[in-house]
Structure 1
């Protein structure tokens, strides 16, 4: 009986650990990103270089990792075959003036677009308008 209880507790701990953000993504300032809903406070714009460093690591990650790291998307589009695109604004725009919670049109402001395939894994991470990262390699 006690082995069964221990096994149950171990399984619970494993499942809790599986829902967190991988160590390779923990240096990203997730809290600042999440607190700048719709990119209206320009905090996300300041994090673009840091985001660019982890962008390629998001490929293949599950949806819960994206939501834990970047928070609830500012907008979402359902595509055919159960694919989805999450949108995260990275600069202020028309979305900051809209008061309606159910936005019907996307703003022209730049945004990160995270495409999730039908099994809930990241298949593409792009920008609405490409961003040139300011990070330079040390010579």
Structure 2
């Protein structure tokens, strides 16, 4: 019985740490980001400096971590060889009225490789992003 309890404890610990957000990303206001679907409320615009600070830390992280942190993408594109691009709008635009096509509004583009890991994070208008100091 004691071995079974120990085994269950180890499994529970593994499961809780496997899906948790790394400590270095926990300062990001994930709830505010997720609540601003398509960037229509303007909340994500205020989070751009925070996002820019954690952006490079997301490289190599698993897809589930990105979804835990940023939520379901506003748009998703399937590429060749099982690669995907997640689109997260950072400001309001045409996507707030017509959600079918990609808008030209400022957005973050998270590329997920065929192994399910983040390989690239870019912006469709990189010159509009102020880099944190």
TM-score (norm 1): 0.90
Segments ≥4 residues shifted beyond 4 Å: none
Structure 2: tracts of 5 or more residues without a match: none
Aligned match of 2:122: 126
Contact 2:52 2:131 in 1 (8 A): no
1:85 aligns with 2:85: yes
> Would you tell me which structure has more helix in proportion to its own residues?
2
Aligned to 1:69: 69
Structure 2 Cα separation of the partners of residues 120 and 21 of structure 1? 16
What is the alpha-carbon distance in structure 1 between the residues aligned to residue 109 and residue 132 of structure 2?
Answer: 21
Report how many aligned residue pairs link the two structures.
132
For 1:4-23, list aligned pairs within 5 A: 4-23=4-23
Correspondent of 1:114 among 110, 125, 132: 110
Q: CA, structure 1 residues 118+134, in 2 after alignment: closer, same or farther (shift >3 Å)?
A: closer
Deviation at 1:134, TM superposition (A): 5.2
